[in-house]
Amino acid sequence: MYFNEEFETLPRQALEALQLKRLQAVVERVCANVPFYMESFGKAGVKSADIRSLEDLQRLPFTTKQDMRDSYPYGLFAAPLEEIVRIHASSGTTGKPTVVGYTHKDIDTWSELMARSFAAAGAHRGDIIHNAYGYGLFTGGLGAHYGAERLGASVIPISGGNTKRQIMIMQDFGSTVLTCTPSYSLFMAEEARAEGIDFKKLKLRVGIFGAEPWSEAMRGEIEEKLNLAAIDIYGLSEIMGPGVAIECIEAKKGLHIWEDHFIPEIIDPKTGRRLPQGELGELVITTITKQGIPLIRYRTRDITSISYEPCVCGRTHARISRMSGRSDDMLIIRGVNVFPSQIESILVAIEGVEPHYLLIIDRRDNLDTLEVHVEVDEQLFSDEIKVLQLLAKRIEKEIKDVLGVTCTAKLVEPKTIQRSEGKAQRVIDNRKL
Amino acid sequence: MKVEQISIFIENKSGRLAEITRILGEVGINIRALSLADTSDFGILRLIVNDVETANKVLKDKGFTVNKTEVVAVEVPDRPGGLGAILRTLDTEQINVEYMYAFVERCGGNAVIIFRFDETDKAIHALKANNFSVLAGERLYSM
């Protein structure tokens, strides 16, 4: 179901013409209003008049998270603070947070794109949307909230945490759509089971999960345990927040990125060169309608590929593949590139293994070591040592076979790996690099 | 003629064994026999207790991974050669022992050997046919 049929199904030619017009306007605006861009375009020797086609976008320099930090807090804003009606910030686990500001029109665009995303996931008026994304500086909660209201659904602004209460409310209020991180959805299912509540009997029909990378195998597990259609959503605060891209429920194959507002590119993270359709690389996004803080060629650090193939749902917007990790989450273990999500896929494919795992990387005698911690639940447990040892060996072998990395599998007691109500921490890198 | 044993998964960290025995002690569970199999990373604690259901429940409630297995208890006179006679019979009948452990009865001159077989019924049949004393679960729990 479409929310804005005209724009969601705009023929490619018209869509690209619109993109060019908007791109030229935004480049002109940042050149006039943002000292950072005046300087960086000047260094690169490009002027706004040089952008004559979408191809010319490649002549512009990238914007990075570091550039945002350097301009902390408002340096990259293109609108005066009087026009900013909302300020969000990303978690600043390393240093200062990155700050974004929205004008009235930005909030309006965001609500529309999030409403489109809900509709693409199969949500509609009359749905009860249980929004367990955190409300606050993080964009997840309010972003989904405004979109749900724009859609005309009933939104429960429950935010994250207090899992027992979440479960009670879902049960009593008859929630039909759940929005949260994928790992938190499984955590809720576990808690519900411990409370003797059958998640499958709840009215939930659709779950919209994002804010952390997950895998196709984890989708299978969530759909099984929660009895709903699990849809992948993508967004980041620098670009807007949730609702930059979403899977359609018809195909569940790639996330449509709303190209009338964003221009996506895939680049080789090392060389910065644009990669052809289908190749895995870093996603770069240019916002072409944002007023508060427009970003030109922002390096998202997310690894994906892009496809312009027509989709069964009828939307003409390109699709990016499920995120396979972050270019800065990418672990290089003995020279092999490893994304934690790849290990997760391997683990979940082994019968009885829960997607709760922890990777510990260390360096001993100048050699990288990888330890994979896996929880032993009743399904895996045996009273015979050899059965458990075979399980550990099997995990080690499958990881070696698929990724080419030698690891040690360590079986640990259930519930000892930290559960997170936000983003799960799955990697501990003890190497002093 | 089978005996219920509970097995608990424990990581090789200090205090885990103490924690389990404390939990069982608090609810008045008496351990009749135990064996601990260990590797460098983890161990499996196997217990015969006087109240299998309660022990199973309290440990699960505390978050331990527990399962129940059927084992066989055989009583032999506590004197040299007692165990050897059983093992010879099992060997002749080609029955594999997965693991075993033993304890000596408090009074009387007997020892009790706990066996875990891959083919439990066949093993019981063979032991009885050779006149060994296979103990019922109730006997053992209340010993």
B116: chain A residues, CB-CB within 8 Å: 383-384
Specify whether A3 is located in the same domain as A17. yes
| Nearest beta carbon to residue B9 from set A392, A413, A415 | A413
Residue A420 has pLDDT above 70, yes or no: no
Distance from C-alpha of B98 to C-alpha of B76, rounded to nearest angstrom? 20
CB–CB contact A384 B9 (8 Å) = no
CB count within 10 Å of CB B125 equals 15
Contact A189, A163 (CB under 8 A): no
Residue of B nearest to A194 (CA): B61
Q: What pLDDT, on a 0 to 100 scale, did the predictor assign at position A96?
A: 76
- How would residue A421 be classed by pLDDT, with cut points 50, 70 and 90? low
DSSP A269-314: TTT--B--TT--EEEEEEESS-SSS--SSEEEEEEE-EE-S--TT-
Same domain flag for A212 and A100: yes
Distance from CA of A388 to the nearest CA of B (A): 9
Does A383 contact B69 at a Cβ distance shorter than 8 Å? yes
The verdict on A191 and A230 lying in the same domain is: yes
Helices A12-33 and A35-44 meet at what angle, rounded to 10? Answer: 110
* pLDDT at position A243 over 70: yes
Count the domains in chain A.
2
Residue A39 CA to residue A366 CA, distance in Å, equals 43
Do A209 and A339 fall within a single domain? no
Instruction: Give the contacts of A172 (CB within 8 A, at least 6 positions apart).
Output: none
Same domain for A317 and A338, yes or no, is no
Rg of chain A over all Cα atoms, to the nearest angstrom: 22
Q: Clarify whether residues A144 and A224 are in a common domain.
A: yes
Q: What is the DSSP letter of A326?
A: B
Name the domain boundary from A266, A293, A327.
A327
Look up tokens 């299912």; give the residue. Answer: A189
Q: How far is B14 from chain A (nearest CA, A)?
A: 13
Is the pLDDT score of A239 beyond 80? yes
- A254 and A316 in a single domain? The answer is yes
**Domain containing A417: what range?**
331-429
Average pLDDT value for chain A: 91
The CATH number linked to A386 is: 3.30.300.30
B63–A415 C-beta distance less than 8 A = yes
Q: Which of B39, B45, B33 is nearest to B137 (CA)?
A: B33
Q: How far apart are CA B5 and CA B23, in angstroms?
A: 17
Chain B residues whose beta carbon lies within 8 Å of the beta carbon of residue A389: 39
- Confidence bin at A73 (pLDDT 50/70/90): very high
Give yes or no for residue A211 having a pLDDT over 90: no
Query: A182 and A116, same structural domain?
Result: yes
Query: B67: pLDDT confidence band, cut at 50, 70 and 90?
Result: very high
User: Are A319 and A341 contained in the same domain?
Assistant: no
Q: What is the pLDDT of residues B76-116, one digit of tens each?
A: 888 888 888 899 999 999 999 999 999 887 766 788 999 99
> Quick one: A25 and A141 in the same domain?
yes
For residue B99, list chain A residues with Cβ-Cβ distance below 8 A. 384
- In angstroms, the CA B123 to CA B96 distance is 9
CB contact under 8 A, A384 and B39: no
Domain boundary among A327, A352, A377: A327
Q: In what order do the strands lie in the sheet with A229-236?
A: A154-156, A128-131, A177-180, A206-209, A229-236, A241-247, A255-257, A319-320, A306-307
Q: Are residues A288 and A349 in the same domain?
A: no
Contact A413 B37 (CB under 8 A): no
Distance from CA of A226 to the nearest CA of B (A): 22
Which of the four pLDDT bands, split at 50, 70 and 90, describes residue A422? low
The residue out of A327, A344, A374 marking a domain boundary is A327
- Looking at this predicted complex, what is its ipTM? 0.84
Identify which of B10, B39, B69 has the shortest CB distance to residue A413. B10
**Residues present in chain A in total:** 433
Whether residue A378 lies within 8 A of chain B, CB to CB, comes out as yes
Q: Which residues in A lie closer than 8 A to residue B37 (C-beta atoms)? A: 385
> Structural domains in chain B?
3-68 (3.30.2130.10), 70-141 (3.30.2130.10)
Mutation pick from B3, B7, B8, B9 vs chain A, by most beta carbons of A within 10 Å, is B9
For the four alpha carbons of B70, B75, B80 and B84, in that order, the dihedral sign comes to: negative
Nearest CB to A385; choose among B5, B39, B64: B39
Nearest CA in chain B to A374: B11
Give A124-135 as a DSSP string. Answer: -TT-EEEE-SPP
Percent above pLDDT 90 for chain B: 66
Give me the CATH number covering residue A225.
3.40.50.12780
- Asked if residue A335 and residue A321 are part of one domain, the reply reads no
